[in-house]
Structure 1
Amino acid sequence: MQKKGYIIFTIIFFMTSLIDPSIILADTNKVEMDQVHDRRIVLQLREGERFNPRELGLIWEETPSTLEKNNYQIVRIPDSLDFYEMLEKIRSHNSVLVADPDFIQDSSDMTFNLESDKDWFLEHINLPRNWDYYGEISPVIVAVLDTGINANHHEFEGRLTEGYNVLTQDSNTNDDNGHGTLVSGVIAAVTDKDYLGVELNTKIMPIKIMDNKGQSSIANTVAGIYYAMENGADIINMSFTSDHDSRVQKQAIMDAYQQGIILIAAAGNDAKVENSYPASYGQVISVTSVGREDVSSDFSNYGDFVDISAPGEDIAGPYLEDNYAVASGTSFSAPIVSGVAALLKSIHPEWTSPELEWVLEESAEANEGSPWDVYKGYGTIDVQKALETTIPLWSEDVGNYKSTAELLVSNQSYFEKIDYPSDEDWFHFQVEKGTNTTVSILNPIGFIDIAATLYTPTGNVVKINNGGKGLDENYTFFAEKGDYYLQIVEGYHHWSNDAYELRIEVEGQVGSKQEINGTQFSDVSRYHTPINYLTDLGIIKGYPDSTFKPQQSVTRLQAVNMILNEMGIDVGNTTVKDPGFKDVSPNSYGYKAIAKAVEIGFIKGKEDGNFDPSGSLTRGQMAAILVQAYNLSGNSVNDFSDVPKGHWAYDVVNKLSGSGVTKGFPDNTFRPNEIVSREHFSLFLYNYLNL
């Protein structure tokens, strides 16, 4: 092994001008030509369409195959033609879906000479060093879009998958700059204990998108993203920035996100508040830098787009040849988060991208006085806390899809949360006759930016986003008769434990034809429609203090009473056969109801001869009761991962799902052993009654 040395290195990068990214696409005359790679345009074609650039006097440019098969094309505008005029002609062409300048993107790092405490950042993020701590883990692939990698460095022995060079369209990912090697080492260096990376089980997929100056372009970045998607990457690390938004790049980001890939990017090192890309896309985890005292680094970008922070000063790791380097910048904060994300994904392969991001942010070392700020987002990453954090029950979060929108009643307040990154809340309301209608959304906290989209019966789409961060949204309009849908999101994909208040006021209309009386409970903040529906019909009751106690577990006797009430069976004056339970006598509360339920056959006693009236029901037991009570016979096309064939609840859960009563959790689990609450039981019963 060679003697280790230290190299203090500098990546050369362009300083792009401070341009408002919101006007880049609307006013291309604001684009400086030195920010565009060789006057090139990246365009995405409509499915099945062709575009011949020669018809407009443009020049064909070689397009990486990974872009071509995803309907992308690169063209160059000659010096003799007006760049901005031709760009608009390209955008207006019938075959073109979207087109943007091929903006230059740069690796973003600053360097300092420091040769001590080389692993300080691992201690700072509270990373357990006992690798047996993690137990059995699954392999994870992190695609590093960068300058390539020094594959011969001993730190990467056995740690690499085959990569791709976008510049030469081959597998030669040799690093001729050093930036990509150090970024990769922060994630996964292993052989020397002084230079351990964050995650010792991950594999690095090097994707070379930058030249020896640390420069890339939108086209190269998009090609790299699609290569990672098509070759099994779980995480994509992007330690580069640009001032420019690009619809072409955003579409690639969205495609990767929808495939389940976790996207992580550096916020940039220009000490400015403006958005930087790709970090500012909502689907990307944006990472800023902190130093040893956990204070935001003076070079780090900041702003509304920030999600989380990680150490970014004096980060040591492998470099060119068999040497090491020490560098600073958000370029090295991002791979720390990528390494932690890989660790969590290896332990919890079933976690989705929003779930994993939520865990990273929920467990972060929070800022004083606020759960989020513009400098460190939700705080500095804390690995130990992340490992101890569990995912909440989000499976039935109100209206995640238009098809499951919560039905609203006019002139009533609804309270709901943006529970996790990318959470969508869908609502539905009806207007019985043409009248003035007001949508009001009261923002819960200063860092949340509520945005809404209203879908009208005539097909119009109205954006409601007049406020801003921490501000309320109000929209009044004349509503024609019909069904309206409202989609609520958070503008930066942030989330909050504080609920917003939603109110629909339809002038001259009280309630809704699909609601009965709209019973209100002081402690109900979601599932208003199912709970109101069942309480108004007398199937379930609230408490004398005007509460519903939605989180309280459902007892076996309560489940029996609810189903009998729904069936219209009054056991008061009926004669029943003694079911023979040791803990239920004719003098017991609920005796006749229990006996009748056993007679009908939708519930049984326990193996010890007891009925256990006050015992809680699990989700699996609830499924069995509903299937038996209503003779459900549906057949689900998708088995839940935690209810495989052979599981005791497989048959009943499969029938419940196949009948359309439940969709389970986003991670394709049903969680049959979890206790079912009053609100969830109400939701399941309501779903059955409204099939």
Structure 2
Amino acid sequence: MTGNPTFNRRAFLKLSAAAGLTGMAGVTTATPGRSPGPKENEVLVGVSKAAGSPRRVVEEHLPGKARVVHENKTLGYVAVEFPDEASDEASENFISAITSRKHVKYAERNATHEALYTTNDPQYGSQYAPQQVNADVAWDTTLGSSNVTIAVVDQGVKYDHPDLSAQFGTDKGYDFVDTDDDPYPDVLADEYHGTHVAGIAAGTTDNDEGIGGISNSSLLSGRALSESGSGSTSDIADAIEWAADNGADVINLSLGGGGYTSTMKNAVSYATQQGSLVVAAAGNDGRRNVSYPAAYSECVAISALDPDGSLANYSNYGPEIDLAAPGTNVLSCWTTSTEYKEISGTSMATPVVSGVAGLALAQYDMSPADLRSHLKNTAVDIGLKDTEQGAGRVDAANAVETQPGGGGGSGGSSTTSTVDDSLTSSSDSDCWSYAWEYSSPSQVVVDLSGPSDADFDLYVDEGSGQCPTTNNYDYRSWSTDSTEQIVIDNPDTSTDLTVLVDSYSGSGSYTVTITETQ
């Protein structure tokens, strides 16, 4: 064992593994004829990296006229399409059967996600969102940097808009709806959401044109929602992976719906590990129920505020909320001759935070975990409940004027501990206990790095002192490879943190890294 002595082996467990019987790197081209947008007749099947090709594993067990129409080797899944005449029972039977096969980690419907906005009558007037988050004060320090990239995974973006063209380079992005390298909207009158979001985050400031976006960051467009404003889990997950692989520092997800899916969870986890901060909209149902993907622990979940600073009546809320930002009647870029328009939603609040993140990264070099903590440490308490505002309203001036580690939180210092060991087969698991360095850390990040030819998973318990198991845990990172991460905000330090490393398949050495931030 190497590393900090706060790690202790709780037990060397010989457990039966949870395995049953069993620019576009990693994303293969969809089968010709695959329809854009929602794909309600598809099932996504996740396959362990230890098995090699996901397509080969799944194709051996396809029923009837079902076929594999898409493969993502990086995220380790395939999409299986059932014919239109097939019953729901047929796909449910397939899900039940395929999950009992060797190397198959999950099977789930290719859920549909929607752009999270609420339209209202056209309103024209002065912007208020940049002023509410003190972006105008931050601009005295920096307007942002083209070296920082914000990826907008959404509808297509009108990248030749006069307030956006300067923020796009030669590579405008990728269209995952139509599978081509031009993410421009198909129908400008209908497909405005991505353009509006992009303008909030990074509409060009100080250019004598239209509005001022929060930051002058570079933009990438990952078109994953159709002109109807909806898209499939697979298209969105592929776009997230693509954005991370193409150097996005921030990935904006102003979308939601479809509930928890392993495919989307693995995508946001992958992006975080690649160095992208994923910022996501809480949802517009006006209830205590933060939508996915915002509810994943890897994402920064954003609630929406009215111009007076109160929680918008449409905004979802709950313990997963990290930050609040203005989302009602936000003026931004439009796709028609109107050029600018106000609309409302947590979709609009989310790129405000993405833009502030871009400003902060123009000043300081930070990892996604550090940036997330920095934005929360420098947020302003506006008197709402924690479930409504999280750490508070994001504040651009504080974010660029405050050195990371010295924010408005409890200090911002961090400590890191590591432990190295190995697993010999799919029947092996190690459990570790970790003694806290800080009495009240604001965040703990648990990282697992294992062999590339195996599939190791990570499980964490807090507050119980008991080793987690593959069936009983507080947090799980369960991707199709051996690179895993769990992020816990405001962890329970009443007992040691317990960590289980489990071999789903394969053997080899691994490293667990735990980072506490005050």
Report the TM-score, using the length of structure 2 for normalisation: 0.72
Of 439, 443, 450, 1:421 maps to 443
Tell me the equivalent position of 2:100.
Answer: 92
1:265 to 2:271 alignment: no
- Give the secondary structure class of the aligned counterpart of 1:360: helix
Residue 202 (structure 2) pairs with residue 197 (structure 1): no
Shift of 1:59: 2.1
Larger mean Cα displacement after TM superposition, 188-197 or 278-287: 188-197
2:198 to 184, 193, 201: 184
Give, in whole Å, the separation in 1 of the partners of 2:433 and 2:66: 52
Amino acid across the alignment from 1:169: T
* Aligned position for 1:347: 363
Instruction: Give the alignment partner of residue 165 of structure 2, picking from 157, 161, 165.
Output: 157
Task: Give yes or no for the alignment of 1:232 onto 2:247.
Answer: yes
Select the residue among 382, 388, 393 that pairs with 2:401: 388
Distance 1:184 1:399 in 2: 38
Residue 247 to residue 58, structure 1, CA distance change in 2 (3 Å): farther
The one-character-per-residue Cα deviations of 1:340-389 (angstroms, maximum 9, x if unpaired) are 101111211x2111111111111111143x8x611111111111122233
Aligned to 2:489: 494
2:348 to 332, 341, 347: 332
After superposition, the C-alpha distances for 1:99-145 in whole angstroms (9 at most, x for unaligned) are: 21100000011123354543211110011357452399561111101
1:222–1:249 CA contact under 8 A, matched in 2: yes
SS at match of 2:301: strand
The residue type paired with residue 127 of structure 2 is D
Q: Verify the 8 A CA contact 2:286 2:315 in the aligned structure 1.
A: yes
- Corresponding residue SS for 1:158: helix
Contact 2:462 2:474 in 1 (8 A): yes
Residue aligning to 1:140? 148
Counterpart amino acid of residue 399 in structure 2 = A
Question: Separation in 2 of the partners of 1:152 and 1:173?
Answer: 11
Structure possessing the higher relative contact order (Cα contacts under 8 Å, 6 or more residues apart): 2
Residue segments in structure 1 that go unaligned for 5+ positions in a row: 1-34, 409-413, 427-448, 467-489, 505-662, 668-691
Q: Which residue of 2 aligns with 1:397?
A: 415
Q: Which moved more, 1:385-394 or 1:241-250?
A: 385-394
Shift of 1:398: 6.8
| Equivalent residue, structure 2, for 1:374 | 387
State whether structure 2 residue 110 is matched by structure 1 residue 102: yes
Quick one: which amino acid aligns to residue 357 of structure 2? Answer: A
TM-superposition CA deviations, 1:39-96 (whole Å, max 9, x none): 21112222214221664225225326xx245432111234145222211112222242
Unaligned runs of 5+ in 2: 1-36, 406-410, 422-431, 449-460, 476-484, 498-512
Amino acid in the other structure paired with 2:386: D
Q: For the residues of structure 2 that align with 1:398 and 1:69, how far apart are their CA atoms?
A: 28
Change (3 A) 1:196 1:117: same
Query: Counterparts of 2:202 and 2:249 in 1: how far apart (Å)?
Result: 15
CA-based RMSD of the aligned residues comes to 3.5
Q: 1:461 to 1:100 in 2, by over 3 A?
A: closer
Distance in 2 (alpha carbons) for counterparts of 1:135 and 1:150? 22
Deviation at 1:326, TM superposition (A): 1.0
Identity of aligned residues (%): 23
Larger radius of gyration: 1
Is this contact kept in 1: 2:124–2:341, CA < 8 A?
Answer: no
CA contact (8 A) 2:321 2:390 kept: yes
Match of 1:356 in 2: 371
User: Do 1:290 and 1:297's aligned partners in 2 also have CA atoms closer than 8 Å?
Assistant: yes
Alpha-carbon displacement from aligned partner over 1:186-244 (angstroms, at most 9, x marks no partner): 111124454110002x1110010011100011111111011112211111000001141
Give the equivalent residue in structure 2 for 1:647: none
Tell me the distance in 2 between the aligned counterparts of 1:36 and 1:181: 20
Is the partner of 1:397 in helix, strand or coil?
A: strand
Residue of structure 2 equivalent to 1:209: 224
On the 8 A contact 2:150/2:250 being kept in 1, the answer is: yes
Structure 1 residues 36 and 181: CA distance shift in structure 2, 3 A: closer
Out of 66, 72, 83, the position equivalent to 1:59 is 66
* Paired AA for residue 381 in structure 1: V
- Shift of the 401–378 alpha-carbon distance from structure 1 to 2, 3 Å rule, reads farther
The structure with the largest strand share of the pair is: 2
Q: Quick one: distance in 2 between partners of 1:419 and 1:502?
A: 13
SS at match of 2:136: coil
1:402-428 CA-to-partner distances (Å, cap 9, x unmatched) read: 78x8887xxxxx7834524343599xx
Contact 1:454 1:464 in 2 (8 A): no
Q: Is 2:445–2:516's contact at 8 Å kept on the other side of the alignment? A: no
Q: 1:358 to 1:58 in 2, by over 3 A?
A: farther
- TM-score normalised according to structure 1 size: 0.55
- 2:281, 2:301 within 8 Å by CA — same for their partners in 1? yes
- Give matches, 1:284-299, under 5 Å: 284-299=299-314
1:228-270, Cα deviation, whole Å (9 max, x unpaired): 1221111100000114100111011111111111000011101
Equivalent position amino acid for 1:186 in 2: I
**Structure with the higher fraction of residues in helix conformation:** 1
Equivalent-residue separation in structure 2 for 1:236 and 1:292 (angstroms): 25
Q: 1:304 — aligned with what?
A: 319
Structure 2: how far apart are the matches of 1:223 and 1:90? 22
User: Which structure 2 residues correspond to residues 459-474 of structure 1 after superposition, within 5 A?
Assistant: 463=472
Q: How many residues align?
A: 414
Deviates more, 1:205-214 or 1:134-143: 134-143
C-alpha deviation, 1:494, in angstroms: 2.1
Report the AA paired with residue 102 of structure 2: N
Please report how far the alpha carbon of residue 312 of structure 1 lies from its aligned counterpart in structure 2 after TM superposition.
0.3
- For the pair 1:113 / 2:129, whether they are aligned, the reply is no
In structure 2, distance between residues paired with 1:401 and 1:189? 45
- Counterpart in the other structure of 2:41: 39
Partner-residue secondary structure (3-state), 2:489: coil
Rate the CA distance shift 1:138–1:84 in 2: closer, same or farther, 3 A: same
Question: Conserved in 1, the CA contact under 8 Å of 2:438 and 2:516?
Answer: no
The residue type paired with residue 292 of structure 1 is: P
Match of 1:151, as an amino acid?
Answer: Y
Q: Equivalents in 1 of 2:473, 2:516: separation in Å?
A: 28
Opposite residue 388 of structure 2, the aligned amino acid is Y
Structure 2 CA distance for aligned equivalents of residues 42 and 196 of structure 1: 41
